């Protein structure tokens, strides 16, 4: 605390010691570099949109201009802020990288979302306003995939309960505890595509798969795991849970190992049994870790696509479809770049709003519970 309190006044003194002419030069450098970058982006954007007949052959000059703007921005910060500007240089590469690979593609995607662009058409790309948006609003396949996402997100709560039980088991003094920790983590080490092929396409294959053979011996006459909607949906949920439960488990296990042992020992002395100790001590203390694990898992779940694409391609009848697999088919099967991008941008906004609401609600609930 003392170091940060002392460093701030020193930064202010260092900034005031910078000559006004130098600070002015830094401001002008950043302003001119920004205007130049904006002019080049606008020039190339108009050419790419067909509004002008002159322009660069590709977007590589815009990349060079962006890198030059980053250098000018860093240099301007040093001129304006001195030592504070030099420290800002350590953050600048991360900011530039985020803008280049996150913000710029998102903005470019917004433009593509309002165009009629099908790679199978010879007409090329053309602006079509809100046509893609209204098509999305009336697309029953998209809303079906979005409804399925609700089922998949609710399944996260079941995954959390199973993961918490496994974490409690691995935190206890049991034999071969280290072996079981590694064994339970093995599914998470596999690619979801590999899991789709090994489990969905092999073990659960309805003719010769071991799971289907076992189901026949148990009395199921036609063990088709992906023929009826709800059985197919539960099968996808089971494979997805097998992959991701170890991830939630390891987060909860880390939280359990960080709990103060003095409190648990005091509860034993007071006569609290295992069930009472869990609900009144362990579970409340684990709430911050639990909320974090659930939110992170929900974010990953909202991007579910690999297993669905590999095993069912969204079938039967769209019962296992997800929004991500639906977007994938729009690009791969229909080559519909404009509409697929509209779906992706709209889904991105929905995810951002949902996660923001989830964080806000969980924060208020935690304050009420712990306050």
Question: In this structure, are 313 and 245 located in the same domain?
Answer: yes
pLDDT digit string (tens) for 91-122?
A: 999 999 998 888 888 988 998 999 999 998 88
Given this model, what pLDDT does residue 10 score? 52
Q: Is residue 4 part of a domain?
A: no
When mean pLDDT is compared over 173-177, 209-213, 265-269, the highest value belongs to 209-213
The better pLDDT of the pair 7, 69 is held by: 69
CA R_g for the chain = 28
Q: Is residue 1 part of a domain?
A: no
Q: Is residue 21 part of a domain?
A: yes
- Statement: residue 9 has pLDDT above 70: no
Q: Which two tokens stand for residue 301?
A: 């779940």
pLDDT-based confidence at residue 7 (cuts at 50, 70, 90)? very low
Question: In this structure, are 180 and 39 located in the same domain?
Answer: no
Residue range 9-23: mean pLDDT, rounded: 68
What are the two backbone dihedrals, phi and then psi, of residue 69, each rounded to the nearest 5 degrees?
Answer: -65, -40
Domain at 215, CATH number: 1.10.3720.10
Range of the domain at 184: 134-370
The better pLDDT of the pair 159, 123 is held by: 159
pLDDT-based confidence at residue 132 (cuts at 50, 70, 90)? very high
Closest CA to 341 of 355, 326, 320, 353: 326
When mean pLDDT is compared over 13-17, 70-74, 121-125, the highest value belongs to 70-74
- Statement: residue 13 has pLDDT above 80: no
Question: In this structure, are 212 and 354 located in the same domain?
Answer: yes
Question: In this structure, are 87 and 39 located in the same domain?
Answer: yes
The better pLDDT of the pair 271, 301 is held by: 301
Q: Which of 78, 113, 148 is the last residue of a domain?
A: 113
- Statement: residue 272 has pLDDT above 80: no
Q: Is residue 125 part of a domain?
A: no
Question: In this structure, are 138 and 105 located in the same domain?
Answer: no
Write the CA distances from 5 to 9, 10, 11, 354, integer angstroms: 7, 9, 11, 38
Q: Is residue 35 part of a domain?
A: yes
Helix H or strand E encompassing 127: strand 126-127
pLDDT digit string (tens) for 309-356?
A: 999 999 898 999 999 999 999 999 989 999 999 999 999 999 999 999
* Mean pLDDT rounded to a whole number for the chain: 89
Among 89-93, 155-159, 210-214, 279-283, the range scoring the smallest mean pLDDT is 279-283
Q: Is residue 361 part of a domain?
A: yes
Long-range contacts from 254-260, C-beta under 8 angstroms, 24+ separation: 254/289, 255/167, 255/286, 255/288, 255/289, 255/290, 256/167, 256/168, 256/171, 256/282, 256/286, 257/171, 259/285, 259/286
Question: In this structure, are 284 and 323 located in the same domain?
Answer: yes
Q: Is residue 225 part of a domain?
A: yes
Given this model, what pLDDT does residue 361 score? 92
Question: In this structure, are 100 and 164 located in the same domain?
Answer: no
pLDDT-based confidence at residue 14 (cuts at 50, 70, 90)? low
Question: In this structure, are 83 and 38 located in the same domain?
Answer: yes
Question: In this structure, are 327 and 231 located in the same domain?
Answer: yes
pLDDT-based confidence at residue 155 (cuts at 50, 70, 90)? very high
- Statement: residue 5 has pLDDT above 60: no
Q: What is the DSSP code string of 318-354?
A: TTT--HHHHHHHHHHTT-BHHHHHHHHHHHHHHHHHH
Percent of the chain with pLDDT over 70: 95
Question: In this structure, are 362 and 225 located in the same domain?
Answer: yes
Given this model, what pLDDT does residue 327 score? 96
Given this model, what pLDDT does residue 174 score? 80
Q: Domains in the chain: how many in total? A: 2
Question: In this structure, are 346 and 222 located in the same domain?
Answer: yes
Q: Is residue 3 part of a domain?
A: no
pLDDT-based confidence at residue 371 (cuts at 50, 70, 90)? low
- Statement: residue 64 has pLDDT above 90: yes
Question: In this structure, are 109 and 138 located in the same domain?
Answer: no
């Amino acid at each position: 605390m003392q170091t940060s309190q002392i460093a701030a006044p020193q930064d202010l003194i260092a900034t005031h010691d910078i000559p006004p002419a130098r600070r002015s030069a830094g401001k002008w450098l950043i302003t001119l570099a920004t205007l130049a970058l904006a002019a080049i982006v606008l020039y190339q954007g108009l050419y790419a949109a067909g509004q002008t007949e002159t322009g660069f052959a590709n977007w590589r000059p815009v990349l060079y201009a962006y890198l030059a703007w980053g250098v000018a921005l860093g240099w301007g910060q040093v001129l304006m802020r001195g030592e504070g500007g030099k420290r800002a240089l350590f953050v600048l590469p991360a900011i530039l990288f985020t803008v280049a690979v996150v913000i710029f593609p998102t903005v470019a995607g917004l433009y593509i979302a309002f165009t009629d662009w099908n790679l199978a058409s010879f007409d090329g790309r053309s602006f079509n306003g809100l046509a893609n948006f209204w098509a999305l609003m009336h697309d029953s396949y998209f809303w079906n995939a979005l409804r399925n996402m609700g089922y998949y997100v609710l399944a996260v709560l079941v995954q959390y309960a199973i993961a918490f039980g496994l974490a409690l088991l691995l935190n206890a003094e049991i034999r071969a505890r280290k072996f079981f920790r590694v064994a339970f983590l093995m599914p998470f080490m596999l690619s979801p595509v590999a899991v789709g092929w090994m489990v969905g396409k092999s073990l659960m294959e309805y003719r010769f798969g071991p799971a289907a053979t076992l189901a026949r011996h148990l009395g199921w006459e036609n063990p088709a795991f992906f023929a009826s909607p709800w059985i197919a949906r539960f099968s996808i949920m089971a494979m997805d849970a097998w992959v991701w439960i170890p991830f939630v488990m390891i987060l909860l296990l880390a939280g359990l190992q960080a709990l103060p042992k003095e409190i648990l020992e005091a509860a034993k002395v007071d006569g609290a049994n295992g069930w009472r100790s869990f609900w009144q001590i362990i579970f409340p203390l684990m709430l911050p870790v639990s909320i974090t694990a659930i939110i992170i898992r929900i974010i990953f779940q909202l991007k579910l696509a690999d297993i669905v694409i590999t095993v069912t391609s969204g079938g039967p009848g769209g019962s296992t479809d997800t929004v991500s697999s639906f977007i994938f088919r729009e690009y791969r099967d229909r080559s519909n770049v404009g509409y697929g991008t509209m779906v992706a941008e709209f889904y991105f906004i929905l995810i951002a709003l949902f996660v923001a609401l989830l964080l806000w609600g969980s924060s208020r609930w935690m304050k009420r519970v712990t306050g």
